[in-house]
């Protein structure tokens, strides 16, 4: 641990380490803090040992110190600086200024005597101080010029060669970032990048420049948040943290806040000579530092050597947001026309740069082949919102695969021999505890695979029922609450198998390949659950969607059976409750604005996130339901800020300043609260579903993915949703939908017994064109007359029976094997049918295929239908005898009522 310095006021008798005189009680004293060498602590570092000095005595020792000795060069070097009085701060600052000027002096010359900071009562002490100052001044007047401060680390010959280029200066990169930020159009931003790389004599480190321009691809984790940066830089600059916090809340940009503070910092430089390679090494070291003290010293080192502008962009690299409104596509378009497409398939930036440089950068669109690399994540294929069944059928004309949308965490698995890498949706490494032991089960599931790249979802499942558990249960503490649940990997795609890329194969082939190679490990590695939906099977898709919603699942993902895997493209469809019927199926509530939070980025300095809640009539308090930051346009947000600020009171997230009428957890304490909740506006909040949250106080009820859909000017606090009504809405949201039951609806949609892709595809391939055409006609009829009960024509039934001998035999067997003892039962069924004629139109309708399947399972129903057909009234039969016969007879497929009245249809 390095030497530190602190300041406080003497509380009891203690002697100055240098002059040996007593430090009077209440006087300012400085301390040199070092580890105690006489105490060994096995559980941590040794305790601190402090040596106290008069301020003048300590600075006298600094005058005699070597250049490499750590001294107090700025107020931020003193722990406890904020607690000093303003008068003492001025005096110590004068001592620091004198010391710095003296140490920076290159030549000889008499230096002025250090100014005493306090008037001492003891004459001997005054003489000692003056004598020490005079000796120090005389000593420094004879000293040789100070050597340069030792660099952070020695540089190799190779690193020096790489840094010789002016294009590798960090200040030049900062200038490029400013140019990109100054233009608005994406084409102009890409042109700035293009002109930089095509500059005369360009010889910069292209790979590192691209990494800095697209910091989101950097896998380093720096373990430092905005609040920690404020804390550290407050110490470095010697300013109160509250001052930096206020500035940060106003502009929403921590890098801009620190830059402005650095401009007033006495020791900042106008321009540094740091290269991008040195910045990269500095970031490497920062990623290894996890303790506050280590991070503080590392930031202090850079702050003293970089200009305010360079410090600003260094912080943006740490936050991985360069704030010039240009994403990866814009930067890559400026680098090479095909670089972004290659980047989507392979995140190996070094390989992309190498291929571009060896092929020479060209302005023409040309192919840039980049292979999939194990260990380098691939951008996941994504899905866009689907708002209707008809839209899905239009997009997937070849048929689709309807797959459960698992509410877990997306994970991309790379297996290379015995080595496993797990990447999240954002291509960052997955936290280890979430994928513990998964690698062992993957080996069991793919026993023959040496190399693999899989796309999957990991979530907790109940081992007793196989039902997926809600989102968030993968957390290290949440897991402990579910004793009968384990993490399960649901595999839904394969991109590479034993060095053979398969992502360009059709989805149907990739799924069939997974079925053949993946051996399920129950409750650990499973197939994702899906069904094949043929084009035109609208009712089947709608039924599956409603069942998924009923069973508490997030929804479905719809994929074209002939589609290939396209990294980064939104060519799948996702169906969720809040997408359907223009949001008519979503969960909504009229909530009250209780508080607000400062925004960040472009919304910095304004209220952009709002704390929404309900009124509890029983306790006469207001309860929080959700934080909401989506749904308002920039114009509406500006107007709301003007309207709400006079009605809000700033509490700066201070829990002690929360009003008594508001029940709010400390984690959600806002920056502003309403002064009078009765004057608060009411907004209609829509979300994916009502959920449970321990952070919110409305009986733990919250809304998932909330957004504003309407500002309810027609409502006030009294007519808004109250806590009692919110509970009813929560319970009603769990009710089942009115969905037609199929023959296998007793099985939950997440059950593996519903997995039937291979069989469904096999059956589909086995059907000839005539049968497919008939099925298509039947499906179109079902869509056109959804609320009726259309019957299959005799011709269709006959064709089906010819192609399915089992069905034909089953029907004939039912007709020929009716015993005499069943005729009485038939008579009773006839009477019952006549009674039901009056209410026939109120009964739910079923498709002919469903009715046929039910009749095969229930002989009684089959007999009932046949009895109704064979026992027509005498009047009806007489009427048919008088009509001319249709040439097709009973095989006629025409359903026109006029035709049926004019012609008889005898059996042929």
Give me the residue label for tokens 């035709």. Answer: 899
Q: Where are the alpha helices (DSSP H) in 51-169?
A: 55-63, 86-104, 123-142, 157-163
Q: What is the Cα 539 distance to its own chain's centre? A: 33
Active site includes 908?
A: no
Sequence-ordered list of residues with C-beta below 8 angstroms from that of 448, at least 6 positions apart, any chain: 517
DSSP label at 908? Answer: -
Which letter does DSSP use for residue 722 in this model? B
DSSP structure string for 759-826: HHHHHHHHS-HHHHHHHHHHHHHHHHTTTS-PPPPHHHHHHHHHH-HHHHHHHHHHHH---GGGHHHH
CA 286, CA 289: separation in Å to the nearest integer? 5
Phi/psi for 664 (5° steps) reads -140, 135
Taking the CA atoms of the chain, what radius of gyration do you get in angstroms? 38
Residue 77's SS3 state is: helix
Residue 155 to residue 809: CA distance in whole angstroms: 88
Annotated catalytic residue within 319, 405, 511, 576: 405
Long-range contacts of 18-22 (CB under 8 A, 24+ apart): 18/53, 18/54, 18/57, 18/58, 18/60, 18/61, 18/132, 19/54, 19/57, 19/125, 19/128, 19/129, 19/132, 21/54, 21/122, 21/124, 21/125, 21/128
Site of tokens 């009932």: 864
Whether residue 343 contacts residue 331, with contact meaning beta carbons closer than 8 Å, is answered with no
In this structure, are residues 308 and 255 in contact, taking their beta carbons and an 8 Å threshold?
no
Give first-to-last CA distance, the chain, whole Å. Answer: 102
Going from the C-alpha of 645 to that of each of 244, 632, 641, 642, 882, the distances in angstroms are 22, 17, 6, 6, 86
For 483, residues 6+ apart whose C-beta sits below 8 A from its C-beta are: none
Cα 812 from Cα 856, distance rounded (Å): 12
Burial class (CB in 10 A: 0-12, 13-18, 19+), 578: buried
11's CB contacts (< 8 A; 6+ apart) are 25
Q: Which two tokens stand for residue 835?
A: 């009674």
Residue 552 corresponds to which tokens in the numbers above?
């508490």
Cα angle at 66 between 62 and 68, to 5 degrees?
Answer: 105
Distance, in Å, from the CA atom of 840 to the CA atom of 466, rounded to the nearest integer, reads 40
C-alpha 147/C-alpha 104 separation (Å) is 10
Burial of 586 (0-12, 13-18, 19+ CB in 10 A): buried
> Contact, 548 vs 414, CB < 8 A?
no
How many whole angstroms separate alpha carbon 875 and alpha carbon 202?
99
Distance (Å, whole) CA 528 – CA 749: 11
Give catalytic residue positions: 405
């Amino acid at each position: 641990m390095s030497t530190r310095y602190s300041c406080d006021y003497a509380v009891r008798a203690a002697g100055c380490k240098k002059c040996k005189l007593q430090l009077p009680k209440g006087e300012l004293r400085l301390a040199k803090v070092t580890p105690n060498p006489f105490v060994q602590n096995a559980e941590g570092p040794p305790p601190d040992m402090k040596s106290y000095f008069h301020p003048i005595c300590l600075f006298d020792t600094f005058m005699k110190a070597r250049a490499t000795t750590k001294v107090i060069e700025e107020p931020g070097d003193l722990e406890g600086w904020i607690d000093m009085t303003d008068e003492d701060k001025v005096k110590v600052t004068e001592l620091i200024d004198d010391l710095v000027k003296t140490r920076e002096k290159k030549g000889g010359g008499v230096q002025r005597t250090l100014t005493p900071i306090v008037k001492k009562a003891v004459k001997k002490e005054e003489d000692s101080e003056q004598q020490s100052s005079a000796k120090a001044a005389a000593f420094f007047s004879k000293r040789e010029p100070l050597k340069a401060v030792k660099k952070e680390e020695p540089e190799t010959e190779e690193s020096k060669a790489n840094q010789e280029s002016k294009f590798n200066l960090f200040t030049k990169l900062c200038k490029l970032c400013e140019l990109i930020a100054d233009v608005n159009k994406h084409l102009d931003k890409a042109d700035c990048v293009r002109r930089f790389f095509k500059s005369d004599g360009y010889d910069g480190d292209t790979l590192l420049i691209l990494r800095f321009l697209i910091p989101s691809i950097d896998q380093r984790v720096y373990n430092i948040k905005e609040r920690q940066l404020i804390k550290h830089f407050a110490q470095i600059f010697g300013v109160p943290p509250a001052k930096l916090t206020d500035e940060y809340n106003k502009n929403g940009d921590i890098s801009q806040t620190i830059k402005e503070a650095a401009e007033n910092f006495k020791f900042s430089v106008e321009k540094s000579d740091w290269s991008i390679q040195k910045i990269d090494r500095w970031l490497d070291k920062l990623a290894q530092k996890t303790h506050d003290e280590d991070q503080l010293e590392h930031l202090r080192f850079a702050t003293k050597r970089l200009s305010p502008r360079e410090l600003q962009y260094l912080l943006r690299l740490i936050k991985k947001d360069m704030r010039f409104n240009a994403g990866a596509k814009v930067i890559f378009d400026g680098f090479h026309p095909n670089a972004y497409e290659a980047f989507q398939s392979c995140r190996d930036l070094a390989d992309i740069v190498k291929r571009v440089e060896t092929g020479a950068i060209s302005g023409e669109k040309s192919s840039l082949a980049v292979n999939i690399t194990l260990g380098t994540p691939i951008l996941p294929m994504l899905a866009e919102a689907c708002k209707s069944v008809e839209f899905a059928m239009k997009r997937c004309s070849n048929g689709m695969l309807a797959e459960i949308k698992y509410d877990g965490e997306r994970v991309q698995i790379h297996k290379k021999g015995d080595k496993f890498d797990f990447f999240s949706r954002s291509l960052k490494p997955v936290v280890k505890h979430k994928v513990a032991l998964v690698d062992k089960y993957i080996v069991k599931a793919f026993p023959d695979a040496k190399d693999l790249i899989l796309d999957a979802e990991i979530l907790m499942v109940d081992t007793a029922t196989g039902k997926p558990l809600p989102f968030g249960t993968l957390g290290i503490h949440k897991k402990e609450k579910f004793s009968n649940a384990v993490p399960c990997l649901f595999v839904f795609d394969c991109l590479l198998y034993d060095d053979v890329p398969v992502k360009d194969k059709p989805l149907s082939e990739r799924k069939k390949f997974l079925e053949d190679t993946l051996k399920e490990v129950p409750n650990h590695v499973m197939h994702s659950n899906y069904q094949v939906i043929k084009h035109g099977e609208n009712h089947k898709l709608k039924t599956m969607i409603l069942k998924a919603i009923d069973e508490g699942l997030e929804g479905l993902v719809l994929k074209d059976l002939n589609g290939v895997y396209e990294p980064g493209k939104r060519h799948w469809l996702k169906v969720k409750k809040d997408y359907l019927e223009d949001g008519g199926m979503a969960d909504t509530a009229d909530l009250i604005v209780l508080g607000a939070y400062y925004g960040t980025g472009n919304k910095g300095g304004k209220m952009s996130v709002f704390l929404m809640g309900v009124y509890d009539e029983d306790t006469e308090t207001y309860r929080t339901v959700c934080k909401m930051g989506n749904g308002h346009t920039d114009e509406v947000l500006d107007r709301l800020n003007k309207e709400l600020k006079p009605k809000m009171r700033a509490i700066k997230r201070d829990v002690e300043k929360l009003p008594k009428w508001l029940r709010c957890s400390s984690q959600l304490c806002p920056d502003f609260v309403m002064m009078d909740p009765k004057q608060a506006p009411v907004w209609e909040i829509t979300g994916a579903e009502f959920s449970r949250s321990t952070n919110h106080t409305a009986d733990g009820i919250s809304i998932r993915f909330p957004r504003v859909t309407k500002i309810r000017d027609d409502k006030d606090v009294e007519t808004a949703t109250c806590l009692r009504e919110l509970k009813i809405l929560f319970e009603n949201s769990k009710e089942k939908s009115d969905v037609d039951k199929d023959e296998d609806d007793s099985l939950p949609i997440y059950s593996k017994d519903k997995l039937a892709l291979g069989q469904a595809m096999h059956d589909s391939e086995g059907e000839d064109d005539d049968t497919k055409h008939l099925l298509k006609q039947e499906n179109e009829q079902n869509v056109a007359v959804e609320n009726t009960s259309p019957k299959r024509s005799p011709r269709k039934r006959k064709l089906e029976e010819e192609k399915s001998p089992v069905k034909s035999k089953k029907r004939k067997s039912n007709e020929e094997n009716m015993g005499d003892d069943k005729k009485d039962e038939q008579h009773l069924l006839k009477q019952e049918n006549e009674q039901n004629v009056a209410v026939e139109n109120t009964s739910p309708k079923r498709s002919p295929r469903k009715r046929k399947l039910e009749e095969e399972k229930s002989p009684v129903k089959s007999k009932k239908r046949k009895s109704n057909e064979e026992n027509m009234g005498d009047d009806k039969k007489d009427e048919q005898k008088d009509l001319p016969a249709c040439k097709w007879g009973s095989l006629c497929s025409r359903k026109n009522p006029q035709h049926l009245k004019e012609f008889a249809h005898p059996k042929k």
